[in-house]
Chain A
Amino acid sequence: MSSPDQSLSLRLSMSRALARIGLRASGVIVALVAWQVVCELGLANLDLVPSPIDVARAFVDLASSGVLFEDAAHTVGATLMGWGIAAVAGVVVGAVLGVSHVARAYASPAVDLFRTFPPIAFVPVALVAVGLSVRLEIVVIVAGCVWPILIGTTDGVRGISAEKHDLARVLRLGRLARIRKIVLPAALGGVMVGLRVGMGLALVLAVTAEMIGNPSGIGYAIVRAGESLHPDRLYAYIVTVGILGVALNVAVVALSERLVPQPRRRQ
């Protein structure tokens, strides 16, 4: 008796899922079609703006020759290393600032000043200090993406409600148990926001550092494509950065959902 019901509800939920994917992709599809139409009608200078189909062709060429994967692997490697170092530093320092109002009083003016420095400005300094290597990228990435992680962690720890502290006292939890079982998990939401924002920044900073500093990865590939007058390849690389950004974001979100079950998450 329940099986027709089940198959019906399965079909319903599948068609709903497809409709949802279609809805979400519709913006991208409309933009691509409009772009193609503009190119077909000759409304834009084709030397500078390739059509989506040209870009797709260049993407397939680069992918099948393996160049794309090499470049992407380098950029993703640098992104993850820089983000990882920033994550450890940001969470540790952020947690200390969140717990201790004395530390916060001394350090937050410095944090507010340092985080306004453009990370790319460190390229010349890093160039002298570490030379043309992936380490230059890492310096730039850490200098940029440590701040959202640090601030997210500090706010996460500070934002724990007074009721949670009361709860820990009423349940007679020891200091260690309080930090491990209440403070850290309660702050995880803020930490995860910092890590997500940081991941987005890390990828952008990696590409930028490759464009003006260390000549490798996707950033340098974009420069090469531009200089050799291959706008289709240039856009193929930009699209690749977009795909990587989405994939890395999905990975961090998946991690955060594993660690923090979300109350009343919607769809």
Chain B
Amino acid sequence: MLRSVTTMTQDDRASQDGIGPARHATVYECREVSVVYRTHRDEAHTVLDGVTFDCQSGEVLTFVGPSGVGKTTLLRLLSGLIKPTSGSVCFEGEPVRRTPQGVVLVFQDYASALLSWRTVGRNVALPLEGRMSKREIDKRVDDALSQVNLGDWKNEYPWRLSGGMQQRVQIARALASDAQVLLMDEPFASIDAITRAKLQDLLLEVRRRTGLTVIYITHDIDEAIYLSDRVFVLSGRPASMQEEVEIDVPTPRSQVETRELPEFLDARRRLHAALRAEYSSEGAGQAP
């Protein structure tokens, strides 16, 4: 069944060249989602306020915003790790109660997201164990690792790998379990710029090949534009959606040329403007 969904989006992609106006099935629907935490002094602390958006199958959707604004909270909502205080989060029409089948969260902290006592191959196999035969698992693990160019590292421990490679193991783990949707929480934030560029291209390549839906979080505006079909600006305290920018940058994208295109620069200008408004209003708010 998952296979057929993947095939369908691949066909869609073939007809639309991957990126374009969304005529896909809706994957996520968030309606007026708010999250309120109780602090240890029992004060109500609103993190997200009235966040509403849809995510279509096969698109890359990115949220940018300053650190601590509540981006991670949003991904935890989508992955079912927390529940909204009010509003609704639906995956394929059903309210999210636990992580939906086909959704995988890629953690920012790869070191704790991979099990240090398991080899790379056995880390990738983790979500498959007990759900299919050993041979099927082996086949999928090999396939997923070769998709992220880690075929030779199957029997190595993850902590022997560089940060970028460990992040690729996490992506392979998602691919092996037939993920339709990747939720990525600043996955390349702690990785050097050159490796980050390679990983961004790898993600676009995997996405082009599999028709994955990606919901991505970053504080890096250029990264957001480079990867996405649509970018949302999340800012304010409590955080709410400030701006939606459609990215009309043509595909396939390349690290040098794409970043010099007028469309890219235009999106960049609009996003910076949206975020600048946030800084100045915050500064004004804090003034005595």
Question: Which chain A residues have a beta carbon within 8 Å of chain B's beta carbons?
Answer: 161, 163-164, 166-167, 169-173, 177, 181-182, 185-186, 188, 260-261, 263-264
Q: Which residues of A contact B116 (CB under 8 A)?
A: 261, 263
* Inter-chain contact A164/B79, CB cutoff 8 Å: no
- Shortest distance between the CB of A253 and any CB in chain B (Å): 16
Complex Cα distance, B115 from A171, in Å, reads: 13
* Inter-chain contact B159/A263, CB cutoff 8 Å: yes
Pick the residue among A163, A170, A188 that contacts B79 (CB under 8 A). A170
Pick the residue among B80, B104, B109, B157 that contacts A163 (CB under 8 A). B109
What 9 pairs across the A-B complex have the smallest Cβ distances?
A263-B159, A163-B112, A171-B127, A170-B105, A263-B116, A185-B117, A170-B99, A161-B112, A261-B157
Q: Which residues of A contact B98 (CB under 8 A)?
A: 169, 172
Complex Cα distance, B81 from A186, in Å, reads: 21
- Shortest distance between the CB of A183 and any CB in chain B (Å): 11
- Shortest distance between the CB of A256 and any CB in chain B (Å): 11
Q: Which residues of B contact A166 (CB under 8 A)?
A: 81, 105, 107
* Inter-chain contact B126/A181, CB cutoff 8 Å: yes
- Shortest distance between the CB of A145 and any CB in chain B (Å): 25
Nearest B residue to A181 by beta-carbon distance?
Answer: B126
- Shortest distance between the CB of A173 and any CB in chain B (Å): 8
Q: Which residues of A contact B112 (CB under 8 A)?
A: 161, 163-164, 167
Whether, in the assembled complex, B130 has its beta carbon less than 8 Å from a beta carbon of chain A, the answer is: yes
Q: How large is the interface on B (under 10, 10 to 19, 20 to 34, 35 or more residues)?
A: 20 to 34
Pick the residue among B80, B107, B157 that contacts A167 (CB under 8 A). B107
Given A167-B113, A260-B117, A263-B116, are A172 and B127 neighbors across the interface (CB < 8 Å)? yes
Complex Cα distance, B116 from A186, in Å, reads: 9
Residues of B127-172 contacting chain A, CB below 8 A: 127, 129-130, 157, 159
Digitize B165-196: 1 where CB-to-A-CB distance is under 8 Å, 0 elsewhere.
00000000000010000000000000000000
Question: Which chain B residues have a beta carbon within 8 Å of chain A's beta carbons?
Answer: 79-81, 98-99, 101, 104-105, 107, 109, 112-113, 115-117, 126-127, 129-130, 157, 159, 177
Contacts beyond the supplied A169-B80, A177-B129, A181-B129: 16 A-B pairs with Cβ under 8 Å: A163-B109, A163-B112, A163-B113, A166-B81, A166-B105, A167-B107, A171-B104, A171-B177, A172-B98, A172-B99, A172-B101, A173-B126, A260-B117, A261-B117, A263-B159, A264-B159
* Inter-chain contact A177/B130, CB cutoff 8 Å: yes
* Inter-chain contact B105/A182, CB cutoff 8 Å: no
- Shortest distance between the CB of B97 and any CB in chain A (Å): 11
Nearest B residue to A164 by beta-carbon distance?
Answer: B112
Q: Which residues of A contact B127 (CB under 8 A)?
A: 171-173
Q: Which residues of B contact A264 (CB under 8 A)?
A: 159
- Shortest distance between the CB of B262 and any CB in chain A (Å): 40
Complex Cα distance, B105 from A182, in Å, reads: 17
Q: Which residues of A contact B177 (CB under 8 A)?
A: 171
Nearest B residue to A168 by beta-carbon distance?
Answer: B126
Q: List 11 A-B contacts (CB under 8 A).
A: A161-B112, A164-B112, A166-B105, A171-B127, A171-B177, A181-B129, A182-B115, A186-B115, A260-B117, A263-B116, A263-B157
Complex Cα distance, B81 from A35, in Å, reads: 64
- Shortest distance between the CB of A71 and any CB in chain B (Å): 39
- Shortest distance between the CB of A245 and any CB in chain B (Å): 28
Q: Which residues of A contact B115 (CB under 8 A)?
A: 181-182, 185-186
Nearest A residue to B106 by beta-carbon distance?
Answer: A170
* Inter-chain contact A170/B117, CB cutoff 8 Å: no
- Shortest distance between the CB of B76 and any CB in chain A (Å): 8
Q: Which residues of B contact A172 (CB under 8 A)?
A: 98-99, 101, 127
- Shortest distance between the CB of B196 and any CB in chain A (Å): 21
Q: Which residues of A contact B126 (CB under 8 A)?
A: 171, 173, 181
* Inter-chain contact A170/B81, CB cutoff 8 Å: yes
Q: Which residues of B contact A181 (CB under 8 A)?
A: 115, 126, 129
Complex Cα distance, B166 from A264, in Å, reads: 14
Complex Cα distance, B109 from A164, in Å, reads: 11
Nearest B residue to A188 by beta-carbon distance?
Answer: B117
Nearest A residue to B105 by beta-carbon distance?
Answer: A170
Nearest B residue to A177 by beta-carbon distance?
Answer: B130
Complex Cα distance, B117 from A186, in Å, reads: 8
Nearest B residue to A176 by beta-carbon distance?
Answer: B130
- Shortest distance between the CB of A20 and any CB in chain B (Å): 22
Complex Cα distance, B105 from A221, in Å, reads: 63
Complex Cα distance, B117 from A188, in Å, reads: 10
